[in-house]
Amino acid sequence: MLHDVRVNTRAHISPTTEPPPALDLRRLGLVVHPRREIDVALDNVREWAEAHGVELVQIPVSGQERVVADPGEVASCDLVLAVGGDGTALHALHAAAAVNRPVLGVACGSLGALTATAAEDLVGALDRVDSGAWRPRRLPGLQVTADGTRTRTAINDVVVVRRGASQVIVTIEVDGQLYVRYAGDGVVVATPAGSSAYTLAAGGPVLAERSDGIVITPLAPHGGCAPPLVVGSASTVTLTIEPGYAGSRLEFDGQVNEEQPSELCTTRVEAYATLVGLGDAEPLLAGLRRRKILIDSPRVLARDERAAAAAAAQPT
């Protein structure tokens, strides 16, 4: 679910020094993963809600058929819970952004970049939010205008990708200056938060904490020289797309859009959505290493194993 919201960003997914907004938790909105095992999280939130006299409703999002509570409008909720993983959190963040509601990401599995608590720890997390022991984590976005008309916002990235066997031709301009023209599979434009998703998989750079800018990563360019590019946060990136005979498609935060605009104008946006932060947030690079998205080379790991074995063999 994508919303036409205009804001600006200068921050990575990072905590702020501002005090947390006061929350009087009377109604919680749920956005849930369509298939993942989420019973532990649901049992915990229902237990907490019953003990505190809080109502639970389910926020409708696109592609969601799983029903866990009565439907409710996000504007009527004081807090939105994204129960599943990072993809679920993205759905919840878009839904909540339009009415400026914070989102608590609940991991049902591996703790990801957008989740603050594991399912088994949810009761304690809700207690902390209820007592004001949380902080807002402002997320950047990408405002994308297609063919000068409809404007939408993505949190991680916007992607143009070939639909079939043919290539697309992409022209990239930054602040009106031509960067490169190439034929290939498409292009990814990402926020710093999104740089560790599709951009990383496509060979683009990861922007660590306190980085600022927009990342543009060509997808499988055929010949020429079209390296990934990082531009300033105030820059405007314009993409001109020639889709080829098989066509192209758009993806906003992984959600497919069937439109085929010939021009996309992309700018950074500020404070688009708000995540709930609890305690010290795990640094981006540490999280990527924990989830083995970043892995040391086998030679270095083998050296570590030899050193550990030698240390274990020493007499005590």
- Average pLDDT of 202-212? 89
The residue among 154, 163, 114 whose CA lies nearest residue 252 is 154
Same-domain check for residues 227 and 122: no
Same-domain check for residues 108 and 158: no
CATH code assigned at 67: 3.40.50.10330
Write out the H or E segment, with its range, that includes residue 159.
Answer: strand 157-162
Instruction: Tell me the per-residue pLDDT of 122-167, one tens digit each, with 9 for 90 and over.
Output: 999 999 999 999 999 999 899 999 998 888 999 999 999 999 889 9
| Residue 208: per-residue pLDDT | 87
Centre a 10 Å sphere on the Cβ of residue 315 and count the other Cβ atoms it contains. Answer: 3
User: Which residues belong to the active site?
Assistant: 86
Query: Of 84, 110, 133, which closes a domain?
Result: 133
| Interacting residues of 53 by C-beta distance below 8 A, sequence separation 6+ | 26
Could you tell me where the DSSP H helices lie in 11-121? 39-52, 86-97
Helix (H, G, I), strand (E, B) or coil at 101: coil
Write out the H or E segment, with its range, that includes residue 23.
Answer: none
Is residue 151 a contact partner of residue 287, using CB atoms and an 8 Å limit?
no
In a domain, 5, yes or no: no
Q: Which two tokens stand for residue 3?
A: 């919303």
When comparing pLDDT for 172 and 278, which is higher?
Answer: 172
List the domain range (segments joined by +) for residue 36. Answer: 21-133
Cα–Cα distances in angstroms (integers) from residue 136 to residues 37, 103, 116, 248, 305, in the given order: 28, 9, 12, 37, 41
Report the predicted TM-score, pTM, of the whole model to 2 decimal places. 0.87
Q: Please list, residue by residue across 160-172, b when 16 or more beta carbons sit within 10 angstroms of its beta carbon and e when fewer do.
A: bbbbeeebbbbbb
